[in-house]
């Protein structure tokens, strides 16, 4: 016996239980629901699958290495240092080909500075003085060039300082000395890797023609895979004039985007370049430029140190690499379909609300949808087959609804089962 019941139980486990539906012959709600279904379907197919490629596993933790190299020489002629030839080893800082680098386009040179006493610049407010008491000895001049010695110099009206003398000439540059930097070229090598898919690629065109990379110049339409950029082009693509930027300096962002669909061919995975100026304010006015100082130190025959100070203005290039790769995978496909279908639940909820509470015949639909299963002893009166079903609020329902007449009604299953 136990065996039989176990067998029955086992068999019943493999009965398929499906939800019972009530067909509400209400076209309004029906159309509403179909429209909702269609919207969900369109959303799943159009947005999730076609646009967002929801059938793909994604990897956005791109690993990337950038190496840069600049080419070009320029001759400058200044009163301080005469004719001078600038090569990449001079105008690129740092020289080792970093992802972020700075190209000198303008400079103020202050040669042969030695430690000693001299007058603070008239342009430094904190250095102004009338008498010696204004120049407390040993105090640093705020935003100045040295330490006050305690003396006020009448000739300039500023404190005497101990520092590197002569001090830098404080004037705004009127013209970019290295304006020919416009024609320098940057060679950007970018190796990237998507670790999840073991996929790696470089932005350098794979060609057998070695000369191509020596001569080509990036151009979005004609040479999209040539990673050599003219400086003047970089700035103009970012929407600014090179000569304007060269004067006071600025910052250009070069964004390399790798958006790769690895279900497609290897050759379809290519970088896209975009260029923005980074040091602009929201109102598109340009911030005050980009400059810094560095010094070259020398020793004379007696071992005394002297130096040449450079205040350099220039263009800082910041190469940013982002990317995302996708490849077909069954798990996200299932998950996306599943959660899309889950959205239908919202539609069912909505349509049910409309049907059950906002239609004229809502009461009828409510009673069709909801079947009472209150466990109660049934009042069945012998052979006369007088039956009083009990409505949800406890009053005899069928009699009530059937206009006061007694009619023969079959007991509902719940009544029979009681």
Q: How near is the Cβ of 266 to a second copy at its closest, in Å?
A: 7
Would you say 154 or 346 has its CB closer to a second copy? 346
Nearest of 407, 400, 405 to residue 384 by alpha carbon:
407
* Whole-number Å distance between alpha carbons of 250 and 252: 7
The reply to whether 292 sits in an annotated binding site is yes
2 phi/psi in degrees, rounded to 5: -60, -40
Q: In angstroms, what CA-CA distances link 360 with 95, 115, 275, 327, 356?
A: 81, 97, 62, 52, 9
The reply to whether 383 sits in an annotated binding site is no
Q: Report whether 295 contacts 307 (CB < 8 A).
A: yes
Q: How near is the Cβ of 224 to a second copy at its closest, in Å?
A: 18
The reply to whether 185 sits in an annotated binding site is yes
Would you say 103 or 152 has its CB closer to a second copy? 103
Would you say 38 or 154 has its CB closer to a second copy? 38
Q: How near is the Cβ of 152 to a second copy at its closest, in Å?
A: 19
The reply to whether 311 sits in an annotated binding site is yes
142 phi/psi in degrees, rounded to 5: -65, 130
Q: Any residues with CB less than 8 A from the CB of 401 and at least 6 apart, and which?
A: 391
The reply to whether 322 sits in an annotated binding site is no
Q: How near is the Cβ of 179 to a second copy at its closest, in Å?
A: 13
The reply to whether 153 sits in an annotated binding site is no
Q: What DSSP designation does 125 have?
A: G
- Is the bond into 111 cis (omega within 30 degrees of 0)? no
* Beta pairing, strands 250-261 & 305-328: parallel
Q: How near is the Cβ of 174 to a second copy at its closest, in Å?
A: 21
Q: What DSSP designation does 169 have?
A: P
List residues forming the annotated binding site for ATP: 69-71, 185, 291-293, 311
């Amino acid at each position: 016996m136990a065996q039989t019941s176990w067998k029955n139980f086992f068999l019943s486990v493999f009965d398929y239980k499906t939800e019972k539906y009530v067909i509400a012959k209400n076209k309004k709600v029906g159309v509403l629901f179909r429209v909702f279904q269609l919207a969900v379907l369109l959303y799943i197919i159009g947005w999730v699958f076609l646009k967002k490629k929801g059938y793909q596993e994604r990897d956005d933790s791109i690993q990337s290495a950038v190496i840069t190299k600049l080419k070009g020489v320029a001759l400058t002629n200044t009163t301080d240092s005469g004719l001078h030839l600038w090569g990449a080893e001079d105008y690129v800082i740092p020289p080792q080909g970093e992802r972020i680098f700075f190209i000198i386009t303008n400079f103020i040179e202050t040669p042969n500075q030695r430690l000693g006493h001299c007058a603070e610049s008239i342009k430094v407010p904190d250095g102004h003085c009338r008498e010696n008491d204004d120049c407390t000895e040993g105090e640093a001049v705020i935003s100045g060039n040295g330490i006050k010695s305690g003396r006020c110099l009448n000739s300039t009206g500023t404190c005497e300082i101990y520092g590197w003398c002569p001090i830098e000439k404080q004037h705004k540059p009127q013209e970019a000395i290295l304006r020919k930097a416009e024609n320098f070229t940057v060679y950007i090598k970018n190796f990237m890797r998507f670790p999840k898919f073991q996929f790696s690629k470089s932005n350098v065109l794979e060609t057998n023609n070695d000369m191509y990379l020596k001569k080509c110049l990036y151009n979005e339409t004609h040479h999209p895979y040539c990673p050599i950029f003219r400086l003047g082009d970089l700035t103009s693509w970012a929407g600014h004039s090179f000569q304007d930027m060269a004067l006071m300096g600025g910052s250009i962002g070069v964004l390399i985007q790798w958006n790769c669909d690895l279900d497609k061919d290897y050759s379809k995975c290519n970088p896209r370049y975009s260029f923005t100026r980074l040091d602009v304010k929201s109102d598109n006015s340009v911030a005050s430029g980009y400059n810094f100082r560095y010094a070259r130190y020398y020793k004379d025959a007696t071992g005394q140190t002297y130096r040449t100070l450079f205040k350099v203005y220039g263009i800082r290039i910041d190469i940013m690499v982002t990317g995302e790769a996708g490849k077909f995978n069954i798990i996200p496909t299932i998950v996306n379909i599943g959660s899309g279908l889950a959205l239908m639940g919202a539609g069912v909820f909505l349509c049910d609300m409309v049907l059950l509470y906002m239609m004229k015949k809502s009461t009828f639909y409510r009673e069709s949808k909801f079947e009472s299963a209150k466990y109660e002893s049934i009042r069945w009166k012998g052979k006369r087959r007088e039956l009083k079903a009990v409505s949800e609020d406890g009053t005899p329902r069928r009699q009530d609804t059937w206009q006061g007449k007694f009619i023969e009604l079959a007991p509902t299953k719940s009544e029979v089962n009681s």
